[in-house]
C-alpha cells in the first residue's frame, strides 16, 4: 500500500448478491477521536495508517481524527517513553479520545514459555491502563487487541510449544477481559497465523518475509492486522456496487454511488458516476502483496467495488474511465461482474493520494512528539511552544488536505465494443 505502484492484477469476476445480509453499523461515529496505543508493532505506523486510510476513503464525510501513540519496547508498565502513567497522561489523555485501541503483550511475555509471574504483571498492568483511561473519560470506547503473533510457523519454534503459544494465553485473557468490561475485542493473532500457514505452503521463502524478524510484521502482514480491527468495527465490504442493463439503458443497482446519463450510441455505452467512497489502495504488482491477498479474505471482506453490465451485444468491450483504459473484458465477464477495486482506476489513484497524505500527517505528528515534545521536555527555550504549536497547525492542515482529497468526484464511464475500439487506433 505505501509507496504504491500501478496496480496490475487479474480480474476477480464476482459480484455481491443483490440481497446481502444486513450488517451492523460501522463502529466509528462522526467526529470520533481515535488513539492507537501500543508497543513497537503499533510504533511501525502501518496497521494504523491502513485503518485511517480505510476510514477516510470509505467514509469521507465522517471527519474522525487519528493519533498514533505506540512506543517501541513498551509493556503494560511503560518503557522507553516513560512509566505507564506518564505515557497515558502525555500520549493519550490530552487528545481526549472517544475511541482507544490497546495492543500490548509481545514484550510482556518475555519471549519465553508461559510464566505465571509475568502473566500476573500483564493482567494487573493492563487493567490499570483501562481503569486509568476510563477514569479520565467513563464514556470512552475501547478496542482491546489480542497480541499479534510471534512467527513460529515459517521457522522452527525456539523452545517446545513456541513463543506464540504464550501470546495466545495472553490473547485469551484479553478476550475474556474485554467481554467482562463490555469492550470491543480484535484478534490479531489468528488471522495472521492463518495467512502464514497458507503462504508457507505456497512459497516458504516469501512467507518468511510476512513477519521478517518473527515479531514485527511487514506492510502486508499489517494489512491483515488492519483488516482484523476493521472487522471488529463492523467495517463494510462495499465501496460501490453498480449494475446496468445495457439493452434498456437502465440502472438496476447503484449502491453508495449515483449513476446518471446512461446512453447507448453505435454500440458504445456511456454513463456518469459519482461515488460516495473510494477503494483501498494496494499494489498487486508486488509479489508479497499478491501472496498475502491470495492467502486472506481482505478483498472479499473489505474491498468490493463490483460493476456488472448485462445484455451487451458485442463479444468484447474496452472499459474506459475518464478516457483512461482500464481493461478489456468479454460480455460474459461484464455480465458476471468485475471488481474495480482490484484494478488501476482513477478512483484507486485518488485513494493512493489520500494514503500519501495520511502518511505525511502521521510523520509530522511523530516528529513533533518524538523529536521535540519528549526529548525537549523541561527545556525553557522561548520558541519551543511556538514550534510545537506550528507543527500542530501543520498536522491539522495536512488532515484537512487529506479529507479534501477523499471527497467524491464524478467520473465518465465508457464501454466500447472491441471492433469499434480497433477502428479508433
Q: What is the mean pLDDT of the chain?
A: 94
CATH 1.10.3720.10 fits 33-232, yes or no: no
> Is the pLDDT score of 298 beyond 70?
yes
Start-end of CATH 3.40.50.1110 domains in the chain: 33-232
Q: What tens digit of pLDDT does each residue of 43-102 get?
A: 999 999 999 999 999 999 999 999 999 999 999 999 999 999 999 999 999 999 999 999
Between residues 28 and 424, the one the model is more confident about: 28
- Residue showing cell 467514509: 59
Q: Which residue blocks in 158-257 are alpha helix, DSSP H? A: 163-181, 190-202, 204-207, 219-232
Q: What tens digit of pLDDT does each residue of 246-280 get?
A: 999 999 999 999 999 999 999 999 999 999 999 99
Q: Which residue blocks in 209-343 are alpha helix, DSSP H? A: 219-232, 287-294, 298-302, 331-336
Between residues 11 and 226, the one the model is more confident about: 226
Q: Which of 387, 383, 244, 267 is nearest to 315 (CA)?
A: 267
> Is the pLDDT score of 23 beyond 90?
no
Q: Which of 40, 43, 105, 48 is nearest to 73 (CA)?
A: 40
- Residue showing cell 483512461: 324
Amino acid at each position: 500500500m505505501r509507496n504504491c505502484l500501478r496496480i496490475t492484477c487479474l480480474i476477480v469476476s464476482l459480484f455481491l448478491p443483490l440481497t446481502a445480509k444486513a450488517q451492523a453499523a460501522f463502529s466509528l461515529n462522526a467526529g470520533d477521536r481515535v488513539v492507537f496505543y501500543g508497543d513497537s508493532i503499533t510504533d511501525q505506523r502501518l496497521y494504523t495508517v491502513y485503518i485511517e486510510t480505510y476510514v477516510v476513503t470509505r467514509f469521507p464525510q465522517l471527519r474522525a481524527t487519528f493519533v498514533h501513540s505506540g512506543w517501541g519496547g513498551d509493556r503494560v508498565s511503560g518503557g522507553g517513553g516513560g512509566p505507564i502513567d506518564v505515557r497515558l497522561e502525555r500520549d493519550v489523555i490530552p487528545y481526549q479520545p472517544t475511541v482507544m485501541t490497546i495492543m500490548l503483550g509481545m514484550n510482556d511475555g518475555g519471549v519465553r514459555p508461559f510464566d505465571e509471574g509475568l502473566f500476573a504483571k500483564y493482567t494487573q498492568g493492563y487493567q490499570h491502563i483501562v481503569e486509568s483511561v476510563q477514569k479520565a473519560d467513563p464514556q470512552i470506547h475501547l478496542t482491546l487487541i489480542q497480541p499479534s503473533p510471534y512467527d513460529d510457523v515459517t521457522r522452527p519454534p525456539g523452545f517446545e510449544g513456541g513463543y506464540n503459544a504464550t501470546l495466545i494465553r495472553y490473547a485469551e485473557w484479553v478476550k475474556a477481559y474485554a467481554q467482562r468490561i463490555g469492550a470491543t475485542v480484535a484478534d490479531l493473532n489468528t488471522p495472521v497465523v492463518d495467512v502464514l500457514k497458507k503462504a508457507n505452503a505456497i512459497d516458504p521463502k516469501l512467507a518468511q518475509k510476512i513477519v521478517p524478524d518473527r515479531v514485527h510484521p511487514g506492510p502486508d502482514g499489517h494489512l491483515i492486522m488492519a483488516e482484523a480491527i476493521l472487522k471488529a468495527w463492523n467495517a463494510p465490504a462495499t465501496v460501490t456496487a453498480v449494475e446496468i442493463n445495457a439493452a434498456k439503458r437502465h440502472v438496476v443497482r447503484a449502491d453508495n454511488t449515483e449513476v446518471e446519463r446512461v446512453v447507448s450510441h453505435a454500440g458504445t455505452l456511456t454513463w456518469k458516476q459519482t461515488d460516495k467512497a473510494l477503494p483501498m489502495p494496494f499494489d498487486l504488482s508486488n509479489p508479497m502483496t499478491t501472496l498475502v491477498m491470495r492467502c486472506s479474505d481482505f478483498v472479499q471482506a473489505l474491498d468490493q467495488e463490483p460493476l456488472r453490465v448485462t445484455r451487451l451485444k458485442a463479444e468484447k468491450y474496452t472499459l474506459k474511465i475518464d478516457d483512461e483504459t482500464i481493461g478489456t473484458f468479454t460480455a460474459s465477464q461484464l455480465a458476471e461482474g468485475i471488481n474495480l477495486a482490484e484494478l488501476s482506476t482513477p478512483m484507486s489513484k485518488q485513494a493512493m493520494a489520500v494514503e500519501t497524505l495520511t502518511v505525511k500527517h502521521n510523520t509530522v505528528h511523530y516528529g513533533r512528539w518524538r523529536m521535540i515534545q519528549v526529548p525537549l521536555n523541561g527545556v525553557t527555550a522561548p520558541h519551543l511552544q511556538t514550534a510545537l504549536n506550528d507543527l500542530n497547525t501543520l498536522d491539522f492542515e495536512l488532515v484537512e488536505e487529506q479529507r479534501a482529497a477523499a471527497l467524491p468526484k464524478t467520473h465518465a464511464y465508457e464501454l466500447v465494443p472491441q471492433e469499434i475500439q480497433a477502428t479508433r487506433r
